[in-house]
Every structure is written in structure tokens, then in C-alpha cells.
Amino acid sequence: MIDWIKHLPAIIVVLPLLVAVIAALLPARFGWVLALLATAGSSLASVVMMTDFMTRWAGFRMSYHLGGWAPPWGIEFSVDHATALVIMVISGLGFVATMSSKSLFANEISSDDLGRVYGAWLLTFGGLLGLVMTADAFNLFVFFEISSLASVTLVAMGGGYDKRALIAAFNYLIIGAIGATFYVIGVGFCYAMTGTLNMLDLAVRLPEVNDQIPVYIGLAFMVTGVMVKAAIFPMHFWLPPSYGHAPMAVTTLLAAVATKASLYILVRVLMTIFGGIDTLPQLILQWVLIPLSLMAILLGTILAIYERDAKLMLAQSSIAQIGYIVLGFGMGSLAGLQAGFIHIANHAMIKGGMFIGLGGLAMAVAGKTKLNDLAGVGRRMPFTATGFLICGLSLIGLPLTAGFISKLYLITAVIEAGYWQIVAIVLFSSALSVIYLWRLIEVMWFTPSNSGDGRLPEQVMIYAPLWILALANIWFGISASTITEMSYGAAQVLMGGMT
Amino acid sequence: MLDQLLSHWNYIIVVLLMMIGLFIVISSMNLVKKLIGLSLFQTSVFLFYISLGKIEGGTAPIIITSGHGDHGSYPSHDILYSNPLPHVLILTAIVVGVATTALGLSLVLRIKASFNSIEEDEILAEKRVMKSEGRSS
């Protein structure tokens, strides 16, 4: 292949981080353009990388030595099929969220602040990409904190018009910091036992000392820390308030990509770092993650049904959707991992689209997201509302949408593993999710509007990105093979770490 | 048993600090105290890493030459070095910790300006009032 391809891993991460500084320093009016250019650059680079990867066998791995220091001494960026897939999802969705952000920010944040806001926006984006890319366990912590400190700042920007955002941001900061510190404690234990921080090197050395208790303590701390970041039940409680009170554009970015990166890290820790230790990752998946994911699925769906605020309703449903992803991973089989990765990609498109759509609808009613305030907006803003509806139908898993493919692969994987009871729970919760989607549809289309019945203005920079995602949901629902093949490659890579 | 505990006294202090920090974060109603607890918790982890790197009788990792051969000077093998890597890692983690505290304190300032209190129970009470009045974003 051409020579510059080997520098892509570094370019994808460094570009947004560099532009973040420039965006913060230049006048505010350049913020959006710079953010758009940086996210477009990263997505383009990741698509090139993915295309290159699709032509190679599943075991192929690209290693980038930062500063020319060879691993295990230097920091390594490692890209395999799984990394390439998640990078593509994050950068692509980050780009679409950035497209919609200018219009969404317009009502919520004063235009003088936009430069610095986009600085934090790009730091979040670049931090998440680095998080996925890095193969150094400690470097991962640094990227965790880059992205989480930047996203706390973004959530707190909601404080300008809704002061509860400040409390949500503060709690997010404290809980995020505790989660990250737990992860670091775990890394410390593993480092003490092996003397290495490179993930692949750890994977080789940990099985040699697997009779030592510190290894298990390290695993427990690392997994707990990552679970906090990924908002897996019961460590999810920071998520609904943060998403609910943050500016709409920020919610879009965080819901589409932030937890996805942490979920990926969770399987990486279990399958790659500790994958060499016999039965241990399987035990954790089976006895810890599957029960928790089922609780998350049921609780998230039920809380979403009772929610009176559309934004919080979607945030609660994210808890359930994270549960589906973790359930797929929890099967610990090739099919299960594949289902998990498929849903990472699909849920990013679904929730990204739904939050953009909700943001567009809410703008017409002065930014209010209470169900009562949204009465009738569906009829009055047909373009935006239809895009929102398509993503919503994908959320409940209607055939011919991407969500259906997710559910199909998930249920197949669960049946293959022989858990018939879990199939029932998944189907039951899917049926329940129809209820909260129906509540939205009923309010938006069939309830008389509070203020006239005329058409409301719709903004092209909201419904264009929304329709990109809505069409992607349909496209990947009909021609699913692209995502399923990429996910299959990703699953194979991770299974390779297990014996 | 006691001997073993006493010879690892630095780890005992680490665990004590960690528990105290975490307890303050969970139990304290005052937001600034929560941040102090968080700092304490993070500091305990810094100490943990530094303890890992220390070797008894070890010195700073500066290569000391023991003599000169035909091919220039060569390092001495009799000298014990402490592991420098944990120090580097913790230098990074301290920076992260400072950033976390700074961001947390600036949020507390904004909370104080908006809610006129930094006590969690009073803030929550006001939040409930906001909710029942139906004022939304």
C-alpha cells in the first residue's frame, strides 16, 4: 500500500486535538468551520483506513510507534479490524453531529463562546478516538480524562439557560474521575505483576502470573472503572441527568459516540488484556455482565416509559441500548461479539439521529423538550419529524431498518448460546420500547398543538444530517452486509485473544 | 502477619487515604469537600504507583559509569536503580488531577452563583422546587 497510510492512525487522533487549540484561540465565528474540517478530515482518514482493512485478513494489525519508540517501551497506536470499525463509527458520527451542531447551538449558547466550545468539542472527539486507538494501558487513562474533562465542560455549557446542567456536570466530573482512578489502580496492579503497560505485551505476560491474587484485583478495578465510563447498570446514574440537561448538540455527540468508545474498551480489557487467562474473562462476562445488562435493558426501558421529558426519555433508553450491546458481548462467542459491534454502529446512528431530530423539533418550541411542549410538532415540521420517526422505528427494531439487523444478530447469538430465557427478555423489552416510542408519536402527530397549526420553519443544517442518518438506518437495514462483515472481522480479532 | 503488614506500611497508608478520600466523596454534602475527597483519593493512587517503583537501596536512575574501556565508558552493574517509569506516569496523572480539581472548582463557583449554595441538600431541594413548578429547559 501507499506509504502515507501507515501514518493514518496518528493523523486521525492528532488532527482534532491540534485544531481544538486553534479553534479555542481564533475568533468564535471560525469555530464551527474548523470543527467541521477536523471531523471531516478524521472521518475521511478513517474511511480510507477501513477500506484498506477490508481487503486484508482478520488477523492483520497496524502498529504505529509514537515518536519512533518501539513497543513495549514506547507508546503504541494499534489498529486492527475492531479498532478500525469503532474509529469509523466515532469519526463518522462525530462529523454528522458537528454538522448539526451549529444550528442546535444557535439558541443555547452565546455566539461569543462558540470558539472555546468547539475547542472542548474537538477535545472530546479527539480524546475518544485516541482512547480507541491506543495500545498503552496508561495512555488510555490519559485519553479517558481528556475526553471526559472536555465533555464535562460541554455539559456545563447548558448552565447558561438550565442551571441543573451545572449539577449534572459536577456529578459527571466526580463519578468520571472516580471511574478513571479505579481504572488506574487496576493498571497499577497489572504493572506491578508484569512490568509492562503495552496491552499486547500484558496479554502475553499476565497468563504467566495468573495464580497471583493482584492480577485478579487489577482486573476487578479495571473492569469496574471502565463500566462507570460506559454507563453500564448500576453505574449508569450519571448519564440521564448529563444528557438531559446538556445543550442539545452536546447530547447528540455524547449519546452517539461517548459511551461507544468505553464499551469497546470494556471488551478490549476483557478479551485482549486478560484474554489469555483461561476462563476468567468468560466467567466475568457470564456472571457479571449478562445479569447487569439484563437489568439495564429492563430498567432503562421501563424508566423511559415513565419519563415526561423527551430528552430524558431518550437518555433512559440509551441505558437499555447499552444493555443490548453488553448482552451481545456477554455471550462471549463470535456471534455475540459480532452482535455487540453491529449494535455499537447501529445505535450510534439511531441515537445520533433521534437527538438531532429532537433538537430540531424542540427549537421550534423555544427549546423545550417536555412531552406536552412537543404537542403537534410532528405535523408542523414534517421533514424533521419524519427523519426522527425513521430513526425511532430503527430503535425498536422494525424490519428494513438497521435496528432490526441488530436485534436479529443479537437474538441469534443468544439462541446459539442456549439462553432461551434471555431471548424472552429481549423480545419483551423490545415490545416495551414500542410504548415509549408510541408516546412520542402520539404527542407529535395526534395531539392538538398548543400554538396554532401552521408549518414551522425547519433548518436545513438540522434535517440534512438527520436525513443522512435516517437513510443510513434504512440502507444498513436492507444491505446489512457491510456492517455485519466489518463486525465479523472485529469479533474474530477479539476472539483471537481468547484461548 | 504483623511483620508483613509493618514492612508494607506505605501500602497501608495508601489504602487508608483511599478509603478516607472515597468516604468523603460519598458522605460529604459540601461540594468543595467532595473535591477535596476526590483529590485525596487520587493522591493515594499516586503514592501507590511511587511505592511500586521504589527499590530498597535503589538510587535515582542516572547512569553512573564505573570505568573506561576501549570502546568508551560503560555503565556500572553494581548499582541498584529505582524504576523511573511510575514517576513519569504519576507526573502525568498529577496533571490530570490538577485539571480535574480546577474544572471542579470552577463548576462549584458557577453552582454557587446559580443556586446561592454549595451544600448538596440545599441544591437538591431547590432542584425539586424547580421540577414541581414545571420550569423546564
Residue A497 scores a pLDDT above 60: no
User: pLDDT tier at B136 (50, 70, 90 boundaries)?
Assistant: very low
Q: Is the per-residue pLDDT at A498 higher than 60?
A: no
Give the DSSP letter string of B63-129. --EEEEETTEEEE-SS--B--SHHHHHHHHHHHHHHHHHHHHHHHHHHHHHHHS--BHHHHHHHHHH
Do residues A360 and A453 both lie within one domain?
yes
Task: Give the residue on B whose Cα is nearest the Cα of A366.
Answer: B137
Is residue A27 packed enough to be buried (19+ CB in 10 Å), middle (13-18) or exposed (0-12)?
exposed
Flag whether A324 is in a domain: yes
Residue A295 has what pLDDT?
95
Interchain pair B110, A373: CB under 8 A: no
Same domain, A309 and A366: yes
Does the pLDDT at position B17 exceed 50? yes
In this model, does residue A100 exceed pLDDT 80?
Answer: yes
Whether A35 has a pLDDT exceeding 70, the answer reads yes
Percent of chain A that is helix, strand, coil (3-state, to 5): 80, 5, 15
Nearest of B17, B54, B13, B16 to residue B38 by alpha carbon: B17
Contacts of A158 in chain B (CB under 8 A): 137
A132 and A255 fall within a common domain: yes
What pLDDT band is residue A375 in, cutting at 50, 70 and 90? confident
CA distance A163 to A475: 40
Quick one: B76 exposed, middle or buried, by C-beta within 10 A (0-12, 13-18, 19+)? exposed
- Write down the pLDDT at residue A499: 37
Q: How many structural domains compose chain A?
A: 2
Other CB atoms within 10 A of residue A70 CB: 9
CA A451 vs CA A212, A215, A238, A376, A447: distances in Å: 68, 62, 35, 9, 12
Separation in Å, CA of A76 to nearest CA in chain B: 15
Does A237 lie in the same domain as A123? yes
pLDDT at A2: 58
Q: Are residues A297 and A239 in the same domain?
A: no
Model confidence band, residue A210 (pLDDT cutoffs 50, 70, 90): confident
Of A132, A29, A92, A142, give the one whose Cα is nearest residue A253.
A92
pLDDT score of B122: 87
Inter-chain touch A166–B111, beta carbons under 8 Å: yes
In chain B, what are the domain boundaries? Answer: 2-57+83-133
The verdict on A144 and A241 lying in the same domain is yes
- Cell numbers at residue B37, please? 475527597
Does the structure show a pLDDT above 80 at A292? yes
Contacts of A167 in chain B (CB under 8 A): 111, 123, 127
- Among A142, A177, A367, select the one facing B38 at the smallest CB separation: A177
For residue B36, list chain A residues with Cβ-Cβ distance below 8 A.
none
Torsion of Cα atoms, A133 then A135 then A137 then A140, to 10°: -10
pLDDT digits (tens, 9 = 90+) for B29-56: 999 999 999 999 999 999 999 998 888 8
Q: Give the three-class secondary structure for A369.
A: coil
Give the end of a domain, one of A211, A242, A269. Answer: A269
Q: Is B110 on the interface with A (CB under 8 A)?
A: yes
Residue B137: pLDDT band (50, 70, 90) is very low
Please provide residue A463's backbone torsions phi and psi, each rounded to the nearest 5 degrees: -80, -20
Q: What pLDDT is recorded for position A298?
A: 95
Q: State which residue of chain A sits closest to B86, comparing Cα positions.
A: A188
Residue-wise pLDDT for A3-30, tens only, equals 777 888 999 999 999 999 999 999 988 9
Taking the C-alpha atoms of residue A272 and residue A134, their distance in angstroms, rounded to an integer, is: 13
H/E element, A296: helix A290-306
Nearest to A170 among B49, B86, B111 (CB): B111
Residue A285 domain boundaries: 281-499
- Whether A126 is covered by a domain: the verdict is yes
Is residue A19 in some structural domain? yes
* Mean local confidence (pLDDT), A322-350: 94
Mean predicted lDDT score pLDDT of chain A: 91
Does residue A200 lie in a domain region?
no
Same domain, A317 and A425: yes
Q: How many CB atoms are closer than 10 A to CB A251?
A: 29
Which residue from A166, A173, A309 is facing B110, i.e. has the nearest CB?
Answer: A166
pLDDT digits (tens, 9 = 90+) for A44-62: 999 998 888 878 776 788 8
Of B48, B107, B110, the CB nearest to A185: B48
CATH number assigned to the domain covering B2-57+83-133: 1.10.287.3510
pLDDT at B45: 95
Please determine, for residue A235, whether its predicted confidence score (pLDDT) is greater than 50.
yes
Collapsing DSSP states into helix, strand and coil, what is residue A134? strand
The pLDDT of A198-217, averaged and rounded, is 89
Hey, are the CB atoms on A164 and B110 less than 8 Å from each other? no
